[in-house]
Protein backbone atom coordinates (compact mmCIF):
# COMPACT_ATOMS: atom_id res chain seq x y z
CA UNK A 1 0.00 0.00 0.00
CA UNK A 2 2.80 2.45 0.83
CA UNK A 3 4.38 1.86 -2.59
CA UNK A 4 1.20 3.13 -4.28
CA UNK A 5 0.62 6.12 -2.01
CA UNK A 6 4.11 7.62 -2.32
CA UNK A 7 4.15 7.89 -6.16
CA UNK A 8 0.54 9.07 -6.15
CA UNK A 9 1.22 11.81 -3.60
CA UNK A 10 4.35 12.88 -5.48
CA UNK A 11 2.49 13.08 -8.78
CA UNK A 12 -0.30 15.17 -7.22
CA UNK A 13 2.25 17.54 -5.67
CA UNK A 14 4.19 17.87 -8.92
CA UNK A 15 1.05 18.50 -10.97
CA UNK A 16 -0.15 21.07 -8.46
CA UNK A 17 3.17 22.92 -8.57
CA UNK A 18 3.23 22.91 -12.38
CA UNK A 19 -0.33 24.22 -12.58
CA UNK A 20 0.32 26.97 -10.04
CA UNK A 21 3.46 28.10 -11.90
CA UNK A 22 1.59 28.51 -15.20
CA UNK A 23 0.10 31.94 -14.57
CA UNK A 24 0.01 34.05 -17.68
CA UNK A 25 -1.99 36.93 -19.11
CA UNK A 26 -2.40 38.77 -22.41
CA UNK A 27 -4.10 41.92 -23.66
CA UNK A 28 -5.25 42.43 -27.24
CA UNK A 29 -6.45 45.75 -28.61
CA UNK A 30 -7.67 47.31 -31.82
CA UNK A 31 -6.31 50.80 -32.41
CA UNK A 32 -9.02 51.54 -34.98
CA UNK A 33 -11.97 50.85 -32.69
CA UNK A 34 -10.44 51.12 -29.21
CA UNK A 35 -11.85 47.71 -28.31
CA UNK A 36 -9.65 45.57 -26.09
CA UNK A 37 -9.78 42.32 -24.15
CA UNK A 38 -7.79 40.80 -21.31
CA UNK A 39 -7.35 37.09 -20.86
CA UNK A 40 -5.69 35.15 -18.04
CA UNK A 41 -5.91 31.67 -16.63
CA UNK A 42 -6.45 30.09 -20.07
CA UNK A 43 -4.19 27.66 -21.91
CA UNK A 44 -3.54 30.09 -24.80
CA UNK A 45 -4.04 33.62 -23.50
CA UNK A 46 -2.89 35.27 -26.74
CA UNK A 47 -5.58 33.60 -28.85
CA UNK A 48 -8.12 34.03 -26.07
CA UNK A 49 -7.56 37.80 -25.87
CA UNK A 50 -7.68 38.22 -29.66
CA UNK A 51 -10.89 36.18 -29.91
CA UNK A 52 -12.51 38.15 -27.08
CA UNK A 53 -11.60 41.40 -28.85
CA UNK A 54 -13.13 40.15 -32.08
CA UNK A 55 -16.27 39.04 -30.21
CA UNK A 56 -16.58 42.59 -28.86
CA UNK A 57 -16.33 44.13 -32.33
CA UNK A 58 -12.63 44.77 -32.86
CA UNK A 59 -11.57 44.90 -36.51
CA UNK A 60 -7.86 44.09 -36.31
CA UNK A 61 -6.89 43.18 -32.75
CA UNK A 62 -3.27 42.50 -31.95
CA UNK A 63 -1.63 41.31 -28.76
CA UNK A 64 -0.15 44.38 -27.07
CA UNK A 65 1.02 42.60 -23.91
CA UNK A 66 1.90 39.06 -22.91
CA UNK A 67 3.12 38.12 -19.45
CA UNK A 68 4.13 34.61 -18.48
CA UNK A 69 4.42 35.39 -14.78
CA UNK A 70 2.13 36.01 -11.84
CA UNK A 71 0.92 39.26 -10.38
CA UNK A 72 -1.41 42.22 -10.68
CA UNK A 73 -2.16 43.68 -14.09
CA UNK A 74 -3.75 46.87 -15.32
CA UNK A 75 -4.78 48.45 -18.63
CA UNK A 76 -5.04 52.22 -19.02
CA UNK A 77 -6.66 53.89 -22.03
CA UNK A 78 -6.24 57.44 -23.26
CA UNK A 79 -6.52 59.34 -26.56
CA UNK A 80 -3.83 60.80 -28.81
CA UNK A 81 -4.00 64.26 -30.41
CA UNK A 82 -6.10 62.81 -33.25
CA UNK A 83 -8.56 61.14 -30.88
CA UNK A 84 -7.32 57.60 -31.48
CA UNK A 85 -7.02 55.24 -28.52
CA UNK A 86 -3.68 54.84 -26.78
CA UNK A 87 -3.04 51.96 -24.39
CA UNK A 88 -0.76 51.47 -21.43
CA UNK A 89 -0.42 48.01 -19.90
CA UNK A 90 1.43 46.76 -16.87
CA UNK A 91 1.41 43.19 -15.57
CA UNK A 92 3.28 41.01 -13.13
CA UNK A 93 3.34 43.55 -10.30
CA UNK A 94 3.19 42.62 -6.62
CA UNK A 95 0.85 45.50 -5.83
CA UNK A 96 -2.31 46.69 -7.63
CA UNK A 97 -1.58 50.38 -7.02
CA UNK A 98 1.85 50.09 -8.62
CA UNK A 99 0.32 48.30 -11.64
CA UNK A 100 -2.25 51.11 -11.98
CA UNK A 101 0.35 53.87 -11.74
CA UNK A 102 2.68 52.22 -14.25
CA UNK A 103 -0.09 51.53 -16.76
CA UNK A 104 -1.19 55.18 -16.54
CA UNK A 105 2.40 56.38 -17.04
CA UNK A 106 2.96 54.03 -19.99
CA UNK A 107 -0.22 55.34 -21.59
CA UNK A 108 0.98 58.93 -21.14
CA UNK A 109 4.45 58.04 -22.44
CA UNK A 110 2.77 56.61 -25.55
CA UNK A 111 1.00 59.92 -26.17
CA UNK A 112 -2.26 59.26 -24.33
CA UNK A 113 -4.06 62.15 -22.72
CA UNK A 114 -6.63 61.87 -19.95
CA UNK A 115 -5.88 58.17 -19.33
CA UNK A 116 -8.17 56.09 -17.16
CA UNK A 117 -7.99 52.58 -15.76
CA UNK A 118 -10.13 50.48 -18.08
CA UNK A 119 -9.34 47.02 -16.71
CA UNK A 120 -7.39 45.40 -13.91
CA UNK A 121 -6.81 41.77 -13.01
CA UNK A 122 -4.98 39.46 -10.66
CA UNK A 123 -3.24 36.31 -11.87
CA UNK A 124 -1.58 34.31 -9.12
Calculate mean pLDDT across residues 39-54: 96
Give the pLDDT score at 14. Answer: 33
Give the pLDDT score at 100. Answer: 98
* Average pLDDT of the chain, as a whole number: 87
The answer to whether residue 91 sits within a structural domain is yes
Number of separate domains in the chain: 1
The answer to whether residue 107 sits within a structural domain is yes
Q: Which domain holds residue 112?
A: 22-123
Give the pLDDT score at 55. Answer: 98
The answer to whether residue 12 sits within a structural domain is no
The answer to whether residue 68 sits within a structural domain is yes
Q: What is the 3-state secondary structure (H, E, C) of 63-122?
A: EEEEECCCEEEEEEEEECCCCCEEEEEEEEECCHHHHHHHHHHHHHHCCCEEEEEEEEEE
pTM for the full predicted model? 0.80
Residue 13 has pLDDT above 80, yes or no: no
Total residue length of the chain:
124
Amino acid sequence: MLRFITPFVLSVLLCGCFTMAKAQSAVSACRETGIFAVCYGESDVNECSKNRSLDRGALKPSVIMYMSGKGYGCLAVGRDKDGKPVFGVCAGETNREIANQRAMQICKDNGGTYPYIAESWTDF
